[in-house]
Structure formats: structure tokens, C-alpha cells
Amino acid sequence: MAGQRMSVTRRTVLRGAVAAGALAGAAATLRPTAAVADPGRRVVVLGGGVAGLTAAHELAERGFDVTVYERRALGGKARSIAVPGTGRDGRPELWGEHGFRFFPGFYKHIPDTMRRIPFAGNANGVWDNLVAAPEARFSRQNAPDTIIPMGRAGKPWATPDDFRETVGSAISTSTKMTDTDALYFANRLLVFNTSCDARRYGQWDKVPWREYVGAGRRSTEFRMLLSRTLTTLLVAAKDDLASTLTIGNMGEQFLGNPLEVGNDGALDRLLNGATNEAWINPWVARLRDLGVKFVSGEVRGLEVADGRISAARIVDASGAAQQVEADYFVTALSTEVARTLWTPEILALRPDLAGMSQLMVDWMTGIQFFMRTQTDIARGHVAYVDSPWSLTSIAQNQFWNRTPLTGFGDGSVRDCLSVDISDWNTPGMLYGKPAKECSPDEISREVWAQLKAHLNDEHVLLRDEDLHSWFLDTGITWDAAQHRNANADPLLINTAGSWALRPVSHTAGLENLFLAGDYVRTNVDLATMEGASEAARTAVNALLDVSGSNAPRCRLFTLYRATELEPFRQLDIGRYAAGQSNLFDAPL
């Protein structure tokens, strides 16, 4: 079908989610002076998730004329999802989620943006809607559970021996792991933390986490907690696939920084309300106030002329095909969508994009259980260590101080147990099938059974009669004929060796194309909203360079590295170049 060529106009504005008038008013009062877009400053952003909204935000503040195209819903995987038909007597509908939100203290790009999103009554904008979770629970089936305080812990350390003893002691005390296993893991973390960049990217990225920690030769507790659970919690990946570079980076932040040096806030944070209310809707209102336009449309291809992207082929909400022109194009699409756009012509100009075809995606998706009673499971996140589907959860009402759950739905819901399913490939305990082969009703029953198996072994914490209803992420669709689910929102998995397959945000090969997805090489190196934000900022900085803009560049942050270990990292540069092992890398 021939498309109609068009330029971006304000008449194509997406009539999507709009924040309340009070929020828009607050945004207007804090609006900075923005320059009128000059010729050559039109930007099309493809994708309205965290990466796309971040890119639009940074560009609009710098005077660019920005239009965002989003095929489904603004906020992407981070959005809330209204549960249809649940509102009663003037109350809004219950909120579902793709998965519960988690804002670790070492996140810096997302918090920096949140401080620039006005929110009525908040001095620091949306950032003030973050609240700390004081503890985490590791729940075992037919075994005592472990509750770990999430505040600052441990003591300062100054030497590698101090590091091993401090981290090892913290692990053995909090997990009931043997001192031998705990000290061994602490030493593996020390090896990574004292490795130079060349070793991290050249050696450890190619090694699966299970192999790196020698899980096959350790205790069952070690394998379950520090190999299997750690990887599924962080990247929804199996420990025999996950890159040591990625998991090691996260270990360096969570375990190698007990005093939370340089953190933006508490180690474990979440929002004080539904994500759309507490973050996404105010963000969209802010961007509208800055002049950003939102269009409902799905990108179907990119046109190339004279070494540049000349237009994007868009199918709008009515099904009509259009050719959208702009000076610059930012692709803020997920891995599996973006790589469908790389035609032979584009790959000839940007051969580094070819590796994306080998990147692995998997599923990590949420289901919410709405409860008639307040749950008393943990004052924070819960990991169900022995669950076949690698479940984690958070009881939300204890943190939703803005609007308690009784203010939604029919008024009888008093809590929401929001659960992430990280393993969709392992057979469950109830039906003996993986989640990918279970109907939505079977998924809800299976997850509920796995939760009860962990939580009801000593005291009954979950009762069937307290369950009001449940909601499965709408990205999961069931094909009854094929007896299989499809997932519209898979997650990039950083498998061993995947760093070399991931592209940078921009090269001279395609001058006006910039990549802002979480598959782009970033410092945080994890498919998260923080990675998406960092990638978007990197894309915007490259766009500013190409356009010749003198606007301030976006702030970019680095992950924490202990200064006490820097001399050993410097020493490791020479050892790695000479083919020697890390100084602390004893045989497994």
C-alpha cells in the first residue's frame, strides 16, 4: 500500500493518557524557557517507553521539536495497566502492572529525570514519590525463611582481606550459609571488583555466572541463592547463560558497597502509588508542556537516502500508512522490534547492528493478586527461592500512602500482591507445565500455589478466601488452539558474550539515526529502565554533537567502584595484558 508522505504536525497528537489538571498546572508553573525550534531541529522518537520519554524530555528541554510515536501505551514496560471493568461507585479501576517497580539506590539517571518532573506538593518532583523498603524476605519451601534488613550494613573496610571478611560475614549471617561458602563467594566478588575493564569486557563477559562462581562444586544453598536466585532476580536468566560481566556489576553495587557510598537513596525503593499516577502521567504532562507531541502509530520501516534516514514508515491508529519525515530519528524500541527494521541497506551503513540478530530475549512478566485483607508477608520484596517459576513479589498497599487500594475498584480490595514471573520455561508444581504453555487461569492458579507452598509452611499467610481477583499483564496472550502464550514485551537477556553483539548509540555510518534502547551498550549493562535512560541520554548527546548544538550535554553517571580497590585494578591492567589471572583469582 502506498504511503502518504507527511511532516510531523501538531494535528497528529496522540489522545492518550493525560495527567490531572492540577499536575499539568504544576508543570506549567515550573516550565523553563525553551527556544523555538530552528529549521533542522525536527526529531522523531520511535517508541514511548522509558527510553523514548527520556530522549524526548532531554531534547525538548534543549529546544528541539520532538514527536513521539508509540504503538500501544506511553510508559512501555514501566506503565500501569487499568484493569477493565473494576471501577465501582465513582472509584477508578484497579491498577495492574507489567511488573512491580524497583528503584535501587545505585540508579542515578532515572532519579535525575524524576527530579525534573513536577508533582503537586513535592519539592523534588516525582522523585519524592519514592519510598524505601526496609527489608527483603527470602522464602523457602519447607525451610525457615530469611529476612534481611535493607538499610546500610557492615563496616568500612580498607583492604582486600577486610572486604572478604565483611562481605562474607554479611552473607553467612543473613542467609545461614556456611562460612566457607560465604567467604568463597566474597572472594569471587573481590576478583571481579579488582578486575580491570579490559578483563571485565574481554574475559568475564564471555563466562557464564554459574561457571564463574563454581556453583556446581558448592552447597545446595549456595547454588540456590548466589547462583540461581541472584540471576533470575536481576535479569530473568538462567545462571548457566547470564554474563558474569552483568551479574558481577550488580554484585558490586549491592554487596560490594555496604555503606551505599554515592547512592542516590536507599538501596531498595519503590513508588508510593501506581506507576502511572506517581510517575508516568506527570511525566507525559511535563513533556506536553515542553511542546512534545505524541502520536499513536507503529513504525514499519525506515527509508534511506544519501546515507541518512529520510523517513519512517508509520501505520497510524486508523491503519493508514504514512511516511514521516524529520531531521533526526531516535529509535527507542525494544530489541526484538528494533532489529526488524535493519534492512540490508541499513546494515551496509551500520554493520555493527547485525549482531542484534543474535541477542537473546526471554520473559519476565507480572501478575497481581488483589486481596480482601492486608497481607503481612514482608516490609519489602520477597524472593521465593524454591519456586519453579522463580517468583518475586511485593505487597503494595503498605507503600501506597497517596491513595490506599480501598479507593480503587469496588472498595473491598485492601492489598495487592504484585508478583513477577521470571521463569516461563520450567514446569510448575500444579499442572506440570511451563508458564508459556498454561492458560491465564492456569497461570494464576499455579503462581498462587507456589506462593502458598512457600508462605504457608509455618504460618498461614495466604488464604484462598481472601483472594478477591487477579490480573495478568495484557502483553501475555493465550492461543487456545496452539496451547501456548505469546508475549508482546520480552526482556533482553545479557548472556555470556553478548556485549560484543550490542551496538553503540550512534556511528557516522547513518548520520541522523540514534539508538536509545536498553540493548545499547551502557555503563549499567542491564536491561532495565535505568539502562534505557542512560542509553537515551547517550543518544541525545550524540544528536547534539551531530547537530552542532551548543546546549549542555545530558548528565551521564557511572556505577560505584570502591576507591580502596583501585590500585589492584590498575595492577590488573598489566596482568591481563600479560595473560595472567587476577591477583585474587584462586583455582575453583
Q: For 389-442, how does the pLDDT look when each residue is reduced to its tens digit (9 = 90+)?
A: 999 999 999 999 888 899 999 999 999 999 999 999 999 999 999 999 999 999
CATH number of 4-76+278-357+499-547: 3.50.50.60
3-state helix, strand, coil in the chain (%, to 5): 35, 20, 45
Q: pLDDT per residue over 201-224, tens digit each?
A: 999 999 999 999 998 888 888 887
Low-confidence winner among 106-110, 230-234, 249-253, 531-535 (lowest mean pLDDT): 230-234
- Predicted model pTM: 0.91
Closest CA to 42 of 309, 388, 244, 401: 309
- Residue 93 pLDDT class (50, 70, 90 cuts): very high
Helices (H), 17-153: 21-29, 50-61, 109-114
- Residue 458 pLDDT class (50, 70, 90 cuts): confident
More confident residue, 146 or 198: 198
State the pairing for strand pair 365-371/415-421.
Answer: antiparallel
- Residue 256 pLDDT class (50, 70, 90 cuts): confident
For residue 310, the model assigns a pLDDT of: 96
Low-confidence winner among 29-43, 88-102, 210-224 (lowest mean pLDDT): 29-43
Average pLDDT value for residue range 89-117 = 94
Residue 26 has pLDDT above 70, yes or no: no
- Residue 372 pLDDT class (50, 70, 90 cuts): very high
For residue 152, the model assigns a pLDDT of: 67
- Residue 22 pLDDT class (50, 70, 90 cuts): very low
Rounded Cα gap, residues 525 and 253, in angstroms: 12
Residue 37 has pLDDT above 60, yes or no: no
Rounded Cα gap, residues 205 and 529, in angstroms: 21
For residue 174, the model assigns a pLDDT of: 73
In one-letter notation, the amino acid at residue 245 is L
Q: Which of 98-112, 210-224, 570-584 has the highest mean pLDDT?
A: 570-584
Average pLDDT value for residue range 357-376 = 95
Low-confidence winner among 147-156, 264-273, 337-346, 559-568 (lowest mean pLDDT): 147-156
Residue 88 has pLDDT above 60, yes or no: yes
Closest CA to 447 of 465, 426, 477: 426
Residue 549 has pLDDT above 90, yes or no: yes
Residue 11 has pLDDT above 60, yes or no: no
Q: What angle do CA 560, 564, 570 make, to 5 degrees?
A: 90
Closest CA to 71 of 327, 436, 338, 279: 338
Contact 103, 270 (CB under 8 A): yes
Task: At 487, list the grid cell.
Answer: 508475549
Low-confidence winner among 35-49, 59-73, 310-324, 523-537 (lowest mean pLDDT): 35-49
For residue 235, the model assigns a pLDDT of: 65
Closest CA to 111 of 401, 534, 539: 534
Average pLDDT value for residue range 228-254 = 82
Residue 229 has pLDDT above 90, yes or no: no
- Residue 38 pLDDT class (50, 70, 90 cuts): low
- Residue 31 pLDDT class (50, 70, 90 cuts): very low
Q: Where are the domains of the chain?
A: 4-76+278-357+499-547, 80-133+269-273+362-487, 156-259
- Residue 33 pLDDT class (50, 70, 90 cuts): very low
For residue 28, the model assigns a pLDDT of: 28
Which residues does residue 321 pair with via DSSP β-bridges, in sequence order? 315
- Residue 162 pLDDT class (50, 70, 90 cuts): confident
Residue 463 has pLDDT above 70, yes or no: yes
| C-alpha torsion angle, residues 343, 345, 347, 351 (rounded to 10) | 170
For residue 1, the model assigns a pLDDT of: 39
